[in-house]
Structure 1
Amino acid sequence: MPNASARPKHGRRTRRRRREDPARNELVSSSLESAQQCLFNQDYGTAFVHYLLVLNLAPVFKEFAKESFRFTLFKWTEELDSVGRIQDLFDCYEQALELFPADEVILNSMGEHLFRMGFRDEAAGHFHKALKLRPDYPEARENFYRVANWLVERWHFLMLNDHGRNRKYQQAIQKAVQNGCSTVLDIGTGTGILGMCAKKAGAAEVYACELSKTMYELACEVVTANGMDGSIKILHMKSLEMEVPKDIPHRVSLVVTETVDAGLFGEGIIESLIHAWHHLLLPPQKGENESQEQSATGRVIPAGATVFGMAVESLEIRRHHRLCVSEVGGLSMAAAGELCSPVSCTSEPDESMEPYTTERLSRLPGGYKALTEPFTAFNIDFNNVQELEGLSSRPGQRIRLPVIQEGELDALAVWFQLHLDEESSLSTGPQEDTCWEQAIYPVHITKGFVLKPRDELVVEVSCRDAFLRLSSVAVVRNGHEIRLDKRLDSQDPGNPISSQNPEAELCSALACLQTDQNRTKDFYMLECAEMALLNNRDYHQSFNTALGKLISQLKVRYQTPEQSSGVQSDSTDSHDLLYVLDVSEGFSLLSLIAASHGRVKAYSSVEKNKQQEVLKRLARSNNIPEQYLEFWLNHMEDEQGMLKRPSREKLWSAILLDCVETCGLIRQKLMEKASLARCLLEEGGRIFPEKIVVYGMLVESDTLLLESAVQGQEPTLGFNIAPFINQFTVPVHVFLDFSTLECRHLSESVELFALDLMDASANYTNRDVTVRATTAGRITAIPFWYQIYLDPEISVSTLSHNSHWKQAAAVLQQPLEVKAGDWVQLAVKLHKSTISISAHIQNDPSPMM
């Protein structure tokens, strides 16, 4: 190597000193001073502009100004968010990342905004970048865990762990390829497994498409890792947008797909297959041309499906979809109108309603009762394009089902058999051990309807908008028709049902018409979890009692001389009013319950106009003066100011916080809200709840492992997939029904953690808990739930049988073998409302708490 040091140095040429620019330096200095002054004056927008100028002109100030710049960015983007200037918000983040491209805090914050706006793929990318820059950054890690549940849904793990399903798909694809299907398109490729099966079977050309950016990138990684990146072309697009020869060079002979949901058609398989037959697939084989080459014809895997259903009784389904109680927290619900979930199936499409929801019947809390035998509802041939095209115009079919046992009609449960080819099929039935749930079509009858043996239930099956629709339309009892759906027209000569009692028919028609008119006027939708909450009498009664105790104490404490002498005032301007603020998420009756105690002005968080109307109706019918109920979000421009005093003179007597998400996690920023709430309480006022205690238990559950990650050391069908998809494994499993979880209890329940919302000094972030194993086994998870204390004597549990909350579980990365009598030490951590738990065997036999 040449000796560079021997070469002559020309200092003036190689070390030319940068000429100072006094005007530029003055601009930088004055802009920096202006930025700091604007920051002091809380003029964040102007401060941000000044900082941009300084850092672009003088990058040397980056380290010096980084913290102030971040603070300014976050404050300014909060203001932009509050006034809906979303494009400006993201422009600011782009400018910030041009200056600090490797700043994990800015990346994480932008990801949070993206996620709130619904851009989950983009949010995940920013969280992932932040984690790569700083793997121990807890905010980015927790955000990534939350978004991972949306991006890679848990059924992906169950599906890849379902060895029977995987083998059947592989065998069907292999047989098709060996029979001449040499060009293959995998629609909705996911991890790429079906496309790789085709290539492994010997297909000459394989194409795949995937709409999700996250799954597309994952599939590309998997295909590359398995040495097929040059032989499988993956497109990031919907199959409906694909064209020949623009995206693929010619039509293919085989389409493979599993774009089916629990209701079979919900992921758009009908539309995508119609498009594929017209634009991407070779024509189907003609029956009279059996001798023509298979390579010149097209086909689809799966070849078709058969849909089954049955009527069921289930209290769990009922309480999530219709009002089951007449009184809530001391309030009569008679004037509420018809309240039900947004899941309701009719033969006529309704964009405001979902036709079905999903449940795993085998894990339904309280179980279910079959009221009819399973029946065949529908057959579809995916290799018949004319049948696919005629699906939406196919007339509805009415099926009469004999009732086999007495019970209240709550829903129609639906599953299907997926025919991969002539020999192989997959069932999603409730009796199968599979990754599938069943579709649930709830029945909205306010007072319910009890079916009896020898009744016949009339079910209508249709497919108007490429959604499978099943609805219970009538019951035939002793030859007479009892309508459950007014669209059933017994005067239609094509209708197989006819009433034998014209007078009853007339009365039924009038009642149905009246019901329909009332429904239009007094029909209100709540989310399924809100319906379940409304049906939880114990929860509302506990709040009613606790609020009553506090209000009584405050009334006595602050009683004026006039009130002591018996003089009362009903004016809302009176200085003796107590103020209660409810910041619950969604629909809540708690403000109305507080106002029912008298001399209380309650502020409700309910935002939707129709739901506010329900509260007003209930207030009037329960004799609560209208002026005692206020919808404070109606008057707020800035969502950040959610906890404000009602006036300069008054503080809040009680602030009601919504502490636990339906999925089983503590709400984000709960402790920050509690800290702010404590500052706004009057003397003697209280936050509800005042304390949350977290309980847990050691369990062995293969189910939780299968739903959390791809298990085992063996590659899936010989493909290396697990390391890539397991990047999206999350340590906490949510939406868990502990009462029906398949697991072995390895310990008694134990207190894991406590959060005191009234006393910040009593809180901690880490706790070691020692629990004794009562049974030998493998600890795979620690399910946890909450006891929510409204005051020291009154509490509600998220584990109760009528709770609207689900539970969660911390799943261990490696199962821990224990013997009966072993002491297990749990390290429980809470960071910004997120709980994490690790476990190890404790050698010291003495328990530590």
Structure 2
Amino acid sequence: MPNATTRPKRTRRHRRAQREDAARNELVSRSLESAQQCLFSEDYGTAFVHYLLVLNLAPALKDFANESFRFTLFKWAEELDSLGRIQDLFDCYEQAMELFPVDEIIVNSMGEHLFRMGFRDEAAGHFYKALKLRPDFPEAKENFYRVANWLVERWHFLMLNDHGRNHKYQLAIKKAVEGGCSSVLDIGTGTGILGMCAKMAGAAEVYACELSKTMYELACEVLSANGMADCIKILHRKSLDMEIPKDIPNRVSLVVTETVDAGLFGEGIIETLIHAWKHLLLPPPNPGELLSSPSQTGRVIPAGATVFGVAVQCPEIRRHHRLCVSSVGGLDLSAVGQIYSPVSCLADTEDSTEPYTTERLSRLRGGYIQLTQPFTALDIDFNNVQELEGLCSREVVQLCLCVTQDGILDALAVWFQLHLDQDNHLSTGPQEETCWEQAIYPVQSTFNSVKRGDEILVEVSCKDSYLRLCCVAIIRDGNTIHMDSATKGAPKSLPANPEVDLCSALAGLQTNQEKASLAFMLESSEIALLNNTAYHSSFQKAMSKLLDSLQSTRRQQESNAQPDPVYVLDVSEGFSVLSLISAQLGFNKQIGSNSGLVKAYSSVEKEHHQNLLKLLAKGNGVLESALEFWLTHVEDDSAVLQRPATEKLWSAIILDCIETCGLIRQKLLEKASLARCLLEDGGQIFPERIVIHGMLVESDTLLLENAVQGTEPTLGFNIAPFINQFTVPVHMFLDLSTLECRQLSEPVELFTLDLMNSSANYTDKQVKVQVSTSGKVSAIPFWYQIHLDCWQSVSTYSKDSHWKQAAVVLQQPLTVSRGDWLQLSVRLHKSSISITAVKEEEPGANDVNTEVESATNDT
């Protein structure tokens, strides 16, 4: 047969390919040139389209155009984000990742957008992928650590480390299965541990459901590792959406769950169990038939709960939920009515309020005092569907608590005992070592002084399936004052012959009903900030000194003219009165005119925050023209530090440097760098310098809250290696004054951030620390000395600090003896600190070299 592939045919094909390549090359060249021109004119959308065309037609140019393409993508994404074109934004990233599937920078950036939009599960997957692509990628590390705290909350580790809790659940499940409950549904399975307990106990059918994508995938890994992937069906679904036979073939005889929070009902267990009884569980046994045919009836573990409470005095709770001072930084705060936190059970509070917050009472700074005996607030039977359905419509129960000692009524503290079955119980009480905190119902009334023999009226209800406890009145010698009226003005009922102090309190409430009728809600962290008088006083002194210096200089330069105003910009996060303190200082120093010497700009955005500042300004004699709200003048966040006027520079810029949780704010150094460029000669950034201090400690508590400890399997199951992937090297929201730990060294200076002088900064520092007490170094807690200027500074470790502390936790504790020296290598990357700890005598030994990194969060 003749050769079908003759030379002429091959030649013709080759020539056609050449013509096609020439046309393609021409198109690629023109598109690449157009993309660059569009970049020059900041037309990022068109440039992005051109780059897509170029890289699809000429993949060989990917390396050459990679950086320009990234830049274009990020700029175009910013525009799409600002325009609210979210779907277009994600479409662009999908197209980019098709071209560059292993570009860790693009993958990480996509995760950042997802996280900001609230898609935390999806964001975690992108951060994890970026970290796999490049394990030393600091941005991906920081992002993954930040997201890990959201996706796998720290109580998961405490729960798995709680051997007593795990064992009691295992005993209750084993007893139920051996008693005839052959089919089991684990609702909110988490790691899958309760479902595996049921299977190990001999259950014929085991199902599990989990809403969180991250925890669902984690549970799948755990089941596979323990050889149970084929015998436990796990669903990525909310139990309320489950149907028979679509999701499980038949009703089950046992539901196990631990969907309870510190307030018992906050995770929706009531709604969950009502749905389960109606759609997923076999019917409960009739009275007297509990043991007759267990395989034909359903039951729940836990079987029920008893809720307890006690009235407490606690300064730490008080300063986060009530304004405790009359003035800060020279500002009289009496110009406003009540300032309250978004935690309230009053009947007429806003929808945005929460009924309770949570605290671990045993760790609260300053401790607490019980003002009453503990009382029983509620009993609930989870195996009684009629009781569950009637819970929300129950009549409000009023309890009368006898005060056992004088004090200030700050809150009701609540805990519960979980009845797994008749023999196994778990308590979340303040004296128990448990993974639960206690629920705190703050008292925000202005009248809260109680005496021994008084009675406190408490209303207990379950509105919206939340447990609500509210102090409604105090009874003294037969006279009643209602707590809600103490927050709003005139009392609802006045006693006929009250004793003197009660009468004075009531009279005070009526002196200015117009003021008392005003109420402003601030976050609890913002209230604690207002109560931090030392910080505001130090700022007032530092600002006053700067104003004196600037005015003195200007008078010398302009002997016959009135000096120009001093421009002050406060870009603090959330609510801040620092701008108003600055404006008042200028107003008090005015010279012969009706205008203040300070023009203050505040970055607060919320309307009620602005109204509160305006009211405070008016009450303190600050002219309305002396305070402006800066974000009404800027179009986007990138311009937040722009000049007050084209020809003017800032005299002072106030930066919010430390997050309440104890970490450095993200992009702090970038903001400081920009701020320095916008300062006039002699101007200042507040604070000017931050010194980071730390020490070596031994703390089992930090280890238990950071990872599943030990080498032994949990109840015989291999869980630790999977959940410990979500450990993070930084523990936030610590109170070192109450943390259970042994101090193994004296505090040392770890690092310094100079916000006024970039040349004084460094990226790495070696710090030698001598061990003062033998033990195991498990963590390095750190805090900050915030230097407002050369003379005024405040510590985030002080007793009145509204900031918490943080600690880097070592994955492998380091055994040390007294007199040993450790070398800490401290490195700053952007706003994140990494620390490497090495014994000085064995600097190269792997078994004593532990690296931990702290990451700022962006939530």
TM over 0.5: yes
User: What's 2:726 paired with?
Assistant: 728
Instruction: Compute the displacement of 1:793 (Å).
Output: 1.3
Moved more, 450-459 or 508-517: 508-517
Q: Secondary structure at the match of 2:305?
A: strand
| Change in 2 beyond 3 A, CA 1:512/1:397 | farther
Question: Are the aligned partners of 2:344 and 2:355 in contact in 1 as well (CA < 8 Å)?
Answer: yes
Structure 2 CA distance, aligned partners of 1:365 and 1:147? 28
1:784 to 782, 785, 791: 782
| Change in 2 beyond 3 A, CA 1:807/1:290 | closer
**Amino acid in structure 1 at the alignment position of 2:581:** I
Any residues of structure 2 matched to 1:661-680 within 5 Å, and which?
A: 661-680=659-678
**Amino acid in structure 1 at the alignment position of 2:275:** H
Cα displacement string for residues 745-772 of structure 1 (whole angstroms, at most 9, x for unaligned residues): 0010000111111111111111111110
Structure 2 CA distance, aligned partners of 1:702 and 1:9? 78
Moved more, 820-829 or 775-784: 820-829
User: What's 1:697 paired with?
Assistant: 695
Question: Are the aligned partners of 1:182 and 1:295 in contact in 2 as well (CA < 8 Å)?
Answer: yes
Any residues of structure 2 matched to 1:297-696 within 5 Å, and which?
A: 297-347=297-347, 350-446=350-446, 448-486=447-485, 501=496, 522-559=518-555, 564-565=559-560, 568=562, 576-598=564-586, 599-696=597-694
User: What's 2:816 paired with?
Assistant: 818
Instruction: Compute the displacement of 1:139 (Å).
Output: 0.8
Structure 2 CA distance, aligned partners of 1:339 and 1:267? 29
Structure 1 CA distance, aligned partners of 2:665 and 2:235? 38
Structure 2 CA distance, aligned partners of 1:235 and 1:413? 36
Structure 2 CA distance, aligned partners of 1:518 and 1:14? 96
Instruction: Compute the displacement of 1:592 (Å).
Output: 0.6
| Change in 2 beyond 3 A, CA 1:509/1:703 | closer
Q: How many residues align?
A: 821
Q: Secondary structure at the match of 1:619?
A: helix
Question: Are the aligned partners of 2:509 and 2:516 in contact in 1 as well (CA < 8 Å)?
Answer: no
Instruction: Compute the displacement of 1:114 (Å).
Output: 1.3
Instruction: Compute the displacement of 1:521 (Å).
Output: 5.1
Instruction: Compute the displacement of 1:88 (Å).
Output: 2.1
User: What's 2:69 paired with?
Assistant: 69
Instruction: Compute the displacement of 1:320 (Å).
Output: 0.2
Structure 2 CA distance, aligned partners of 1:519 and 1:421? 54
Structure 2 CA distance, aligned partners of 1:39 and 1:85? 21
Q: Secondary structure at the match of 2:838?
A: strand
Cα displacement string for residues 380-419 of structure 1 (whole angstroms, at most 9, x for unaligned residues): 0000000000000001111111101111000000000000
User: What's 2:94 paired with?
Assistant: 94
Structure 1 CA distance, aligned partners of 2:173 and 2:11? 67
Instruction: Compute the displacement of 1:518 (Å).
Output: 5.4
Cα displacement string for residues 412-453 of structure 1 (whole angstroms, at most 9, x for unaligned residues): 00000000001110000001011110000000123x421111
Q: Secondary structure at the match of 1:89?
A: helix
**Amino acid in structure 1 at the alignment position of 2:528:** A
Question: Are the aligned partners of 2:482 and 2:493 in contact in 1 as well (CA < 8 Å)?
Answer: no
Q: Secondary structure at the match of 2:779?
A: strand
Structure 1 CA distance, aligned partners of 2:29 and 2:104? 28
Cα displacement string for residues 260-282 of structure 1 (whole angstroms, at most 9, x for unaligned residues): 00000000000000000000000
Instruction: Compute the displacement of 1:337 (Å).
Output: 2.2
Cα displacement string for residues 471-495 of structure 1 (whole angstroms, at most 9, x for unaligned residues): 101111111112213599xxxxxxx
Question: Are the aligned partners of 1:619 and 1:625 in contact in 2 as well (CA < 8 Å)?
Answer: yes
TM-score by length of 2: 0.92
Q: Any gaps of 5 or more consecutive residues in structure 2?
A: 587-596, 844-859
| Change in 2 beyond 3 A, CA 1:276/1:591 | same
Question: Are the aligned partners of 1:83 and 1:637 in contact in 2 as well (CA < 8 Å)?
Answer: no
Instruction: Compute the displacement of 1:102 (Å).
Output: 1.2
**Amino acid in structure 1 at the alignment position of 2:139:** E
The percent of aligned pairs where both chains have the same amino acid is 71
Question: Are the aligned partners of 2:481 and 2:493 in contact in 1 as well (CA < 8 Å)?
Answer: no
| Change in 2 beyond 3 A, CA 1:719/1:503 | closer
Structure 1 CA distance, aligned partners of 2:340 and 2:396? 25
Question: Are the aligned partners of 1:829 and 1:836 in contact in 2 as well (CA < 8 Å)?
Answer: yes
| Change in 2 beyond 3 A, CA 1:463/1:838 | same
Cα displacement string for residues 265-314 of structure 1 (whole angstroms, at most 9, x for unaligned residues): 00000000000000000000111434531111000000000000000001
Structure 1 runs (4+) greater than 4 angstroms displaced? 8-17, 347-350, 497-500, 506-521
1:32 and 2:20 correspond: no
| Change in 2 beyond 3 A, CA 1:449/1:61 | same
Structure 2 CA distance, aligned partners of 1:89 and 1:46? 14
| Change in 2 beyond 3 A, CA 1:515/1:84 | farther
Instruction: Compute the displacement of 1:621 (Å).
Output: 1.2
2:772 to 761, 774, 799: 774
Structure 2 CA distance, aligned partners of 1:844 and 1:711? 26
Question: Are the aligned partners of 1:82 and 1:637 in contact in 2 as well (CA < 8 Å)?
Answer: no
**Amino acid in structure 2 at the alignment position of 1:643:** L
RMSD: 2.5
**Amino acid in structure 1 at the alignment position of 2:706:** S
**Amino acid in structure 1 at the alignment position of 2:548:** S
Any residues of structure 2 matched to 1:786-801 within 5 Å, and which?
A: 786-801=784-799
Question: Are the aligned partners of 2:689 and 2:755 in contact in 1 as well (CA < 8 Å)?
Answer: yes
Cα displacement string for residues 313-343 of structure 1 (whole angstroms, at most 9, x for unaligned residues): 0110000001111111111111122111111
Question: Are the aligned partners of 2:649 and 2:680 in contact in 1 as well (CA < 8 Å)?
Answer: yes
Question: Are the aligned partners of 1:486 and 1:512 in contact in 2 as well (CA < 8 Å)?
Answer: no
| Change in 2 beyond 3 A, CA 1:838/1:703 | same
| Change in 2 beyond 3 A, CA 1:712/1:515 | farther
Cα displacement string for residues 187-241 of structure 1 (whole angstroms, at most 9, x for unaligned residues): 1111110011011111111111111111111011101110000011111111000
Structure 2 CA distance, aligned partners of 1:157 and 1:825? 30
Instruction: Compute the displacement of 1:596 (Å).
Output: 1.1
User: What's 1:266 paired with?
Assistant: 266
User: What's 1:493 paired with?
Assistant: none
Cα displacement string for residues 164-188 of structure 1 (whole angstroms, at most 9, x for unaligned residues): 0000000000000000111111111
Structure 2 CA distance, aligned partners of 1:511 and 1:675? 54
Structure 2 CA distance, aligned partners of 1:815 and 1:793? 39
Question: Are the aligned partners of 1:347 and 1:460 in contact in 2 as well (CA < 8 Å)?
Answer: no
Q: Secondary structure at the match of 1:530?
A: helix
Cα displacement string for residues 353-390 of structure 1 (whole angstroms, at most 9, x for unaligned residues): 00000000000000001000100000000000000000
Instruction: Compute the displacement of 1:552 (Å).
Output: 1.2
Question: Are the aligned partners of 1:337 and 1:614 in contact in 2 as well (CA < 8 Å)?
Answer: no
User: What's 2:848 paired with?
Assistant: none
Structure 1 CA distance, aligned partners of 2:289 and 2:508? 55
User: What's 1:203 paired with?
Assistant: 203
Instruction: Compute the displacement of 1:80 (Å).
Output: 2.2
Structure 1 CA distance, aligned partners of 2:599 and 2:239? 56
Moved more, 593-602 or 369-378: 593-602
Moved more, 336-345 or 658-667: 336-345
**Amino acid in structure 1 at the alignment position of 2:720:** A
Q: Any gaps of 5 or more consecutive residues in structure 1?
A: 1-7, 489-496, 569-574
| Change in 2 beyond 3 A, CA 1:503/1:132 | closer
| Change in 2 beyond 3 A, CA 1:611/1:745 | same
Instruction: Compute the displacement of 1:462 (Å).
Output: 0.5
